[in-house]
Amino acid sequence: MSVRPAVEPLLLNRELSLLKFNERVLAMAEHPDTPLLERLRYVCIVSSNLDEFFEIRISSLKEQLRVAPAQVGDDGLSPAEAFEDVQQAVHELVTRQYGMLNEEILPRLRTKGIALHSATDWDDAQQAWALACFHREVMPLLTPIGLDPAHPFPRVYNKSLNFIVPLSGIDAFGRKASIAIVQAPRALPRLLKMPEAISGYRHGYVLLTALIRAFVGELFPGLEVQGCYQWRVTRNSDLFVDEEEVTNLRHALQGELTQRNFGAAVRLEIDRSTPPALEAFLQREFQLSGADTYRCNGPVNLSRLMQLCSVDDCADLLFPGHQASVPEPFAQVGNKPAELFAAIAASDRLLHHPYQSFQPVIDFLTAAAVDPDVVAIKQTIYRTGEDSELMRLLMAAARAGKEVTVVVELMARFDEQTNINWAARLEEVGAHVVYGVVGHKTHAKMALVLRREKGRIRRYGHLGTGNYHPRTARLYTDFGLLTADPRLCEDMDKVFSQLTGLGARRALKSLLQSPFTLHDGVVSMIRAEAKAARAGKKARIMAKMNSLLEPIVIQELYKASQDGVKIDLIIRGVCALRSGVPGLSENIKVRSIVGRFLEHSRVFYFFDEGKESVYLSSADWMDRNFFRRVELAFPIYDKALKKRVIHEAFLVALRDNQLAWQQRPDGSYAPVRSRAQPVNLHRVLDDALRRTG
């Protein structure tokens, strides 16, 4: 083992920081005050997060091991050291995850009438039902593959459910049986509902895994089945498309998507009872080591249990129902085009989701689609979902003869196929569809409406920190601004021109834009606060985002801290900055908030000698957001709205003592607790915005 440096590096490891975030998510499952089915949901979320972690981050780390094994990163770790630390942390996290599921959640769910029936516990009636279910619904779809020279190891889809079955005996053709692989088709449900009369519980379920393990012998008549063990392999799912070389990005991406499910293996999950010889066999097949292998005390894909969180008649086991408020004037005008546009023209309108409904954004686009005075709509799309009312509105507007331009980001990770499908449908109805700028993902969130009023064109815009995705708008905290301010709308039009056409960079008056001005703008504002502090003036920085990784910005924050600037950072997920280090960052505090809603908004505050500059943004402070994406940060000009943003994004969050975690100098986190009155950010804002509309 290599010798670690005695001096702590200035930056924290990205992968380890991301795992710390998942520890905080799992802590929600461990908290006794979290409703029982929500505890299960958090366990499933961690499972889903770890899938993507291996598909993207571990794949990247393994590539570093291959191409630059000796290179030490800014975190002071070589790829080998980072990989060792990460694998140890994941193994510990997975052990906690299955322990919480088996020792706490599933037993307590059973007392509430929700049961997973294990084959070892079936009575005669349950056994008969399970066998009939297997023959009727499962067995016809299974294709067992006996491994021999004529039947090599099958191609295995990324994250698919599989079984390895050791056999003995001679088959009908005189072949000696040894090992068979059974792949569970994706068409089969992973949870099967058992009738209440047979189950004895209101909600009784049997895992597909249990059915196959119990009756796998039905697939191999005349042979002795010596065991049946579930397993799953996770593959590198990061797409590679050489955007500089392709002539048609959409066609190239479609070709790459077909291979995503067969990338290099990065993780093997197996049943904890799998014999060592079979474990070694699978490791050899996928070229994985013991460190890459995870023995699971339960289903190898825990996220499949998310289905249990949707059972009927269990509202008492979930968070209380949440109904987002519709603020004035939208509650009155709805999608009445003239009244809605008049309301936006009168003053900027701020929306804070999910406390406030996403419906005003839909109403805005509905009005644009049906209003005869609207001549054009321009929209960016990063993620919107397979069933999108917003996309249907854009299609309706195009059919109505309006000029509809949609910048669709085809490289939105794991949403590529959905976006390709929408792009094709939009083109079919006459919309102009472009795919942004080669080499730069279009991550900015904006919609622009051009309306003819009194013989001239007036612009109306929506700018946001989150995606145009109604489902996530009910779960993610994001800000959106509806505006007719010429300073913002004219800049938006310039950005659309850059995305759809060619030409020199156009100067923007109000918006900060990646990859051009956002990084320099942020650095400049940090330095201005540091300069004010050195002059003995009040200086203050607050920033809220998902991730903080970009090293230059971190260095500038360190310098500002040393100059006396008080800095509060609310970073939900990955944070490479070390807070509270004497002589380096003692004036910086980092907290993470994990609760019912996913903290997603990006908000930047600078005291700015009393002017209090506030920006909302689509961008985290990461290299990719500053330099390899098209991102926007937009100022809040209206004083009342600015005050709202400061209060809702920062002041309440900095008082939270229920959902907040404080970062320690070593990168670990401790829950924030105090004897003061309990403050739960999500509840406080929900109550406040419901009262004010």
Give 456-488 pLDDT, tens digit per residue. Answer: 999 999 999 998 988 899 999 999 999 999 999
pLDDT at res. 415: 63
Q: Exposure pattern of 3-40 as b/e (b: 16+ CB <10 Å)?
A: eeeeebebbbbbbbbbbbbbbbbbbbbbeeebbbbbbb
Residue count of the chain, please give it: 693
Give 358-404 pLDDT, tens digit per residue. Answer: 999 999 999 999 999 999 999 999 888 778 888 999 999 999 999 99
- The rounded distance, in Å, linking the Cα atoms of 151 and 339 is 69
Give 289-331 pLDDT, tens digit per residue. Answer: 999 999 999 999 999 999 999 998 899 999 998 899 999 899 8
Three-state SS string over 146-210 comes to ECECCECCCCCCCCCCEEEEEEECECCCCCECCEEEEECCCCCCCEEEECHHHHCCCEEEEEHHH
pLDDT at res. 413: 60
Q: Report the range of poorest mean pLDDT among 77-81, 99-103, 208-212, 615-619.
A: 77-81
Average pLDDT, the chain: 91
- Would the pLDDT of 241 be above 50? no
CB 511 within 8 A of CB 632: yes
Out of 44-48, 78-82, 151-155, the most confident range is 44-48
- Nearest partner of 305 among 597, 27, 37, judged by Cα: 37
- Would the pLDDT of 509 be above 70? yes
- The tokens describing 434, both together, are 């472009």
Average pLDDT, integer, range 226-252: 69
Taking CB atoms within 8 Å and a gap of at least 24, the contacts of 82-88 are: 82/13, 82/15, 82/16, 83/291, 84/1, 84/291, 85/13, 85/16, 86/13, 86/15, 86/16, 86/19, 86/58, 86/61, 87/291, 87/292
**Known catalytic residues?**
443
Name the β-bridge partners of 203.
114
Half-sphere exposure of 626 (CA within 13 A, CB side): 16
- Would the pLDDT of 574 be above 90? yes
DSSP secondary structure string for all residues of 534-599: HTT---EEEEEES-B--HHHHHHHHHHHHTT-EEEEEESS-B-BPPS-TTTTTTEEEEEE-SSSEE
pLDDT at res. 261: 67
pLDDT at res. 411: 62
pLDDT at res. 258: 57
CB 595 within 8 A of CB 27: no
Residue 648 vs residues 214, 447, 642, 656: alpha-carbon distances, Å: 54, 24, 10, 12
Give 422-439 pLDDT, tens digit per residue. Answer: 888 898 998 998 887 777
- The rounded distance, in Å, linking the Cα atoms of 14 and 546 is 13
- How far does the chain reach from its first CA to its final CA, in angstroms? 60
Strands 598-599 and 602-606: unpaired
- Would the pLDDT of 252 be above 60? no
- Would the pLDDT of 283 be above 70? yes
pLDDT at res. 90: 97
Q: Exposure pattern of 233-250 as b/e (b: 16+ CB <10 Å)?
A: bbbbbebebebeeeeebb
CB 554 within 8 A of CB 585: no
Q: What is this structure's pTM?
A: 0.92
- The rounded distance, in Å, linking the Cα atoms of 158 and 152 is 18
Half-sphere exposure of 593 (CA within 13 A, CB side): 27
- Nearest partner of 264 among 62, 88, 432, judged by Cα: 62
pLDDT at res. 419: 74
- The rounded distance, in Å, linking the Cα atoms of 299 and 455 is 65
What's the pLDDT band for 71 if we cut at 50, 70, 90?
confident
- Would the pLDDT of 245 be above 60? no
Q: Report the range of poorest mean pLDDT among 66-80, 596-610, 628-642.
A: 66-80
Give 539-552 pLDDT, tens digit per residue. Answer: 999 999 999 999 99
- The tokens describing 629, both together, are 């994406």
What's the pLDDT band for 176 if we cut at 50, 70, 90?
confident
CB 577 within 8 A of CB 548: yes
